[in-house]
Structures are given as C-alpha cells and as structure tokens.
C-alpha cells in the first residue's frame, strides 16, 4: 500500500464515521454503502485537503469523487497530487 493510500485510509478512519474498519475495505468498495454519510464526506474532503495541501475544484465536488478509496485516489491524480494507479 502506498503512502497516499495510507493517508486516504487514515483520513477515512478519522473523519468518515464508518461503522466498519477502513482496513477491511477494498479500494473499490462503495463507502456510502458502508455507512459514509453526506456530512461525513464533507469532513473527509476537508481533511483530505489539509493532508494533501490541495483544494478540490468544483468539478470534483460530487458524490462519486468520494465513493471509494480508488475514486479518491483518482481525484487526487486528476489534481496532479499523486500519480494515477
């Protein structure tokens, strides 16, 4: 697992308020089906912005951006923060 994935998962663990451990989730698992609420997704977004020193553009402020660990990684790659996987 990369440092980026570790950071994403740490942010989800701390701010996602998920009823399951983030370590039990695969990269493609739907975080909303696992219990991520809309309110918690905003907290996750803000924490990701702090962790990666970025600001999500309006074009990425949609549910699908935060749907999975993989989707978050892809969004960060789109923003040039990380290399695509």
Which band of pLDDT confidence, cut at 50, 70 and 90, is reported for residue 82? confident
Residue in this structure with the two tokens 């695969």, named with its chain if needed:
26
Which band of pLDDT confidence, cut at 50, 70 and 90, is reported for residue 9? very high
Measured CA to CA, the distance from residue 47 to residue 53 in angstroms comes to 10
> Is the whole model's pTM more than 0.95, yes or no?
no
- Please name which of 23, 76, 16, 78 lies closest in space to residue 42, comparing C-alpha atoms: 16
The pLDDT of 43-56, averaged and rounded, is 97
Domains defined along the chain, listed by start: 3-78 (1.10.1200.10)
pLDDT above 70: residue 84? no
The pLDDT of 53-72, averaged and rounded, is 97
Measured CA to CA, the distance from residue 8 to residue 13 in angstroms comes to 9
Angle at alpha carbon of residue 16, lines to 20 and 67, rounded to 5°: 90
- Please name which of 66, 63, 81 lies closest in space to residue 29, comparing C-alpha atoms: 66
């Amino acid at each position: 697992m990369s440092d980026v994935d570790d950071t994403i998962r740490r942010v989800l663990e701390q701010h996602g308020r998920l009823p399951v451990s983030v370590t039990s989730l695969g990269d493609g698992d739907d975080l909303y089906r696992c219990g991520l609420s809309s309110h918690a997704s905003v907290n996750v977004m803000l924490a990701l912005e702090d962790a990666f020193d970025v600001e999500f553009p309006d074009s990425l402020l949609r549910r699908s951006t935060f749907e999975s660990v993989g989707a978050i990684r892809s969004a960060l790659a789109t923003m040039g923060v990380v290399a695509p996987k």
